[in-house]
């Protein structure tokens, strides 16, 4: 039996050699869970009892000793050959995304569950944000079930079979294939697990267009003011910022969550745009909310006014110097957690 689920609707480090999984639980967690990352002196509201923590270029080089590194490297090479054949640039490997994927796949295999939502009901973007991921993220996921007594197929064969099944999709039902070939995605981590005849594989894609991102170093109280700062890579400028929100999972939720189909990021609750140049009027649907420096860096503030839950800051960038009608790309999915 096979089940495959695709990424959100609408929308330079290779794997390490095989070895024991290192103690990376703290490195995976968000900074307010682990204390990882460097606290910087960034501008924040004067009454805020917290700092911003920076995720720089090192965020894509997490030291994760992957048990299946060789097999995943082979799959990555296959993916990049497929992308090259369709005119898309190669993907770089993202160890943090691989670790997030491995955890998800193991939990799903043990629970004999399928879909993008893990057994506790968390969507891919929530898992990514809680792991300290700040770049925009999309997931492909595949599930195979076999007779455990006769399932002796090597994991590499399973990985390649799962990938081939997605590449064989035909329009309009080809969301997995389109995500694999998306030329705007820059990195990918591969998750895998095989337990008792249950095989799970995920492809955790990210789009790295920001040199660094700074987010609060801990959960904030609902109703307080949060801040985010970022520096786009050369050739990019921020055009708009979406603040998206979803409530926390009910504490009474128990059992295994089975949800199928595609998923999307939560609803937009606020849109902000850069302040217009002096002497010009603001044009567009988003409210002007933050200044942008000559080098493109920006800091924005927003109220956690929807109550407790997960607030995702999605920065939309455009190529710079701007080209008329140039495509806006979502470059972040930075998480701010609001508690009561």
Q: What is the pTM of this model?
A: 0.85
Per the CB < 8 A criterion, the answer to whether 220 and 339 are in contact is yes
Task: Extract the tokens encoding 94.
Answer: 């993202």
CA distance 195 to 203: 18
pLDDT at 331 over 60: yes
**pLDDT number for residue 277:** 60
At residue 7 the predicted structure's pLDDT band, cuts being 50, 70 and 90, is: low
At residue 50 the predicted structure's pLDDT band, cuts being 50, 70 and 90, is: confident
**pLDDT number for residue 151:** 65
Cα–Cα separations (whole angstroms), residue 137 to 45, 111, 335:
29, 24, 12
pLDDT tens digits for 185-238? 999 999 999 998 999 999 999 999 999 999 999 999 999 999 999 999 999 999
Contacts of 33 (CB under 8 A, 6+ apart): 26, 130
CA distance 132 to 339: 18
**pLDDT number for residue 22:** 33
pLDDT tens digits for 246-296? 998 876 555 566 676 789 999 999 999 998 765 444 455 566 679 999 999
**pLDDT number for residue 18:** 32
Which single residue is written with the structure tokens 């089940």? 3
Crossing angle of helices 155-167 and 69-85, in 10° steps, is: 20
């Amino acid at each position: 039996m096979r089940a495959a689920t695709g990424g959100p609707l609408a929308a330079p480090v290779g794997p390490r050699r095989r070895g024991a999984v290192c103690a990376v639980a703290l490195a995976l967690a968000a900074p307010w869970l682990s204390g990882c990352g460097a606290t910087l002196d960034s501008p924040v509201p004067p009454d805020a009892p917290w700092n911003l923590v920076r995720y720089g270029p090192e965020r894509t080089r997490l030291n994760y000793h992957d048990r299946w590194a060789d097999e995943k490297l082979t799959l990555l090479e296959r993916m990049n050959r497929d992308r090259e054949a369709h005119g898309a640039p190669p993907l770089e490997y993202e160890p943090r995304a691989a670790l997030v994927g491995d955890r998800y796949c193991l939990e799903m295999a043990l629970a004999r569950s399928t879909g993008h939502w893990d057994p506790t009901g968390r969507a891919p973007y929530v898992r990514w944000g809680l792991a300290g991921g700040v770049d925009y993220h999309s997931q492909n996921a595949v599930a195979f079930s076999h007779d455990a007594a006769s399932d002796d197929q090597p994991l590499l064969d399973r990985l390649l079979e799962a990938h081939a099944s997605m590449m064989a999709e035909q329009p309009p039902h080809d969301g997995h294939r389109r995500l694999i070939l998306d030329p705007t995605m820059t990195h990918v981590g591969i998750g895998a697990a095989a337990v008792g005849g249950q095989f799970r594989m995920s492809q955790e894609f990210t789009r790295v267009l920001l040199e660094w991102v700074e987010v609060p170093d801990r959960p904030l109280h609902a109703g307080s003011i949060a801040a985010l700062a970022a520096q786009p890579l050369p050739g990019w400028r921020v055009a708009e910022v979406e603040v998206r929100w979803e409530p926390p999972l009910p504490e009474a939720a128990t059992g295994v969550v089975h949800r199928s189909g595609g998923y999307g990021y939560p609803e937009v609750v606020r849109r902000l745009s850069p302040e217009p140049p002096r002497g010009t009027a603001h044009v567009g649907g988003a409210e002007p909310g933050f200044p942008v420096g000559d080098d493109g860096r920006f800091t924005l503030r927003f109220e956690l006014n929807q109550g407790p839950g997960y607030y995702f800051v999605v920065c939309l960038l455009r190529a710079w110097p701007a080209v008329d009608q140039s495509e806006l790309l979502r470059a972040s999915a930075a998480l701010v957690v609001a508690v009561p």
